[in-house]
Amino acid sequence: MTPFVADVLIPVGKIVAVILYPMVMVVVMIWLERRVVALMQLRLGPNRVGFQGLAQPVADAVKLFFKEDIRQRQADKLLFGISPVLVMASSLLAFCFLPLGEPIRIGTYTLTLWIAESPVGLLIVLGLSSISVFGVIFGGWAANSKYPLMGALRSVVQVLSYEIPLGLTVLTVAFAARSMDLVEIVRRQEASGVWYGFLMPVSFVVFWISAVAETNRAPFDLPEAESELVAGYHTEYSGMKFAYFYMAEYAHMVLVSSLVVILFFGGWLAPFPSVKALDFLDVVPGFVWYLVKLMFFLYLYVWIRATFPRYRFDSLIRLVWKWLIPLALVNLLVVVLVRYLL
């Protein structure tokens, strides 16, 4: 393993992989969503473009690339341009910290399946995922028209108020695993033999609800409610800028789903780690298990979108301040007590 390969080729390869990984996931997610929602609604969904419609997201992306990029006169040029980048970059950056699998040993060199491992990885990922709120605010404000502004204001209040239960539940996991390092959390789940999702079901449920609300999806998609706010905060965006918003939403969904998988369902661990009889499952590489669980949660996103009507704004806020936050606080208290009494 010549130093050139170790110091240059592999990091570059990993960086390219980390940029390509969310892009591929976004393409798969766009196709999955349109097909699954269609099949749930008695229709077929895209199946003409490429094999079973797989090339549909590619066609959308290329078409959006060649669209004219309109920026009105009264728009605030700087913010209008920056906001899609902010939303997209924050999601992509967070992918560097997600451990996708067990480090692979090639000769003397161990190839770690993540870019960076930091003792406060969890904090960084949460911080980055809340930066995308700035993108939404700037985007809604810069368009300088009423509907995007209302969409942006709604999104700000929604995302900020849902970050509190998100943070609290993440704290319970950090307490259980005694560390903020994502890799450490997975290892700790492997050591303790039980996944935190089953150890602390309440924090998983609260985390999942606030995750769905955080990404403005399904019953909580008020900021971009087509039937009320025309197209929410990205009403005035066209062409590639809109493509950024469109893909960033899916990237954010994939990011939050992978967080759920890592924190509550043991990252790359094969299911039922404590049951010795099922050890043969370990032959399947960790990365595959990680993808299977991820796909399940992405499917759940789409399933929820197809069934639930949309919350009204005040009931949305009442739900978080009256139900989720108290529940998360009590849950944190219980976990801390149990942790230190045992």
Partner 1 sequence: MSDGFEKAPFLLTKADLFITWAQKNSLWPFGSGLACCAIEMIATAAARYDIARFGMELFRASPRQADLFIVAGTVTNKMAPVLRRLWDQMPDPKWAMAMGNCAIGGGPFPTYSVLQGVDKIIPVDVYVAGCPPTPQGLIHGLMTLQEKIARSHPTKEILAPHARRPS
Partner 2 sequence: MELREYDLNMGPQHPSTHGVLRLKLAVDNEVVLGVEPVLGYLHRGMEKLWESLTYTQVVPLTDRLDYIAALSNNLGYCLAVEKLAGIEVPKRARYVRVVLAELQRLASHLAWLGFMANDIGAMSVLLYAFEAREDVLDLFEEYCGARLTIHGIRIGGAVRDLDTPLVSRIRAVLERIPKRLEDVRALLDENRIWKERTVGVGRIAAAAAIDYGLTGPGLRACGLAWDMRKDIPYSSYDDFAFDVPLGTNGDVYDRYLVRLEEICQSIRIVGQALDGLPGGEFTAKVPRVLKIAPGEVFHTIEAPKGVLGFTVRSNGTDKPERVKMKSPSFINLQALDHMCRGNLFSDVVGILGSLDIVLGEIDK
Q: If contact means CB under 5 to 8 A according to the sort of partner, which of partner 2, partner 1, none does residue 47 touch? A: partner 1
| # residues contacting partner 2 (CB under 8 A) | 25
Pick between residue 87 and residue 152 the one whose CB is nearest to partner 2.
152
- For residue 78, the minimal CB distance to partner 2 (Å) is 24
Stretch that binds partner 2, among 57-65, 86-94, 111-119, 303-311 (CB under 8 A): 303-311
Q: If contact means CB under 5 to 8 A according to the sort of partner, which of partner 1, partner 2, none does residue 70 touch? A: partner 1
Intra-chain end-to-end CA distance of the chain, in Å: 47
For residue 72 the two structure tokens come to: 């009105």
Stretch that binds partner 2, among 8-16, 52-60, 124-132, 312-320 (CB under 8 A): 312-320
Query: In 3D, which of 135, 145, 160, 304 has the Cα closest to residue 230?
Result: 145
Q: Are 254 and 215 in contact (CB under 8 A)?
A: no
40 binds partner 2 (CB under 8 A): yes
Footprint of partner 2 on 199-258 (CB under 8 A): 219, 221-222, 225-228, 230
- For residue 105, the minimal CB distance to partner 2 (Å) is 49
Q: What are the b/e assignments for 135-170, b being 16+ CB within 10 Å?
A: bbbbbbbbbbeebbbbbbbbbbbbbebbbbbbbbbb
315 binds partner 2 (CB under 8 A): yes
Q: Are 275 and 118 in contact (CB under 8 A)?
A: no
Strands (E), the chain: 104-106, 109-111
Q: Are 18 and 115 in contact (CB under 8 A)?
A: yes
Sign of the C-alpha dihedral computed for residues 260, 264, 265 and 266 taken in this order: positive
- For residue 30, the minimal CB distance to partner 2 (Å) is 17
Stretch that binds partner 2, among 56-64, 112-120, 176-184, 308-316 (CB under 8 A): 308-316
Q: If contact means CB under 5 to 8 A according to the sort of partner, which of partner 2, partner 1, none does residue 187 touch? A: none
Query: In 3D, which of 197, 201, 157 has the Cα closest to residue 319?
Result: 157
- Please report, as ranges, the residues that interact with partner 2 according to CB under 8 A: 37, 40-43, 146, 150, 219, 221-222, 225-228, 230, 306-315
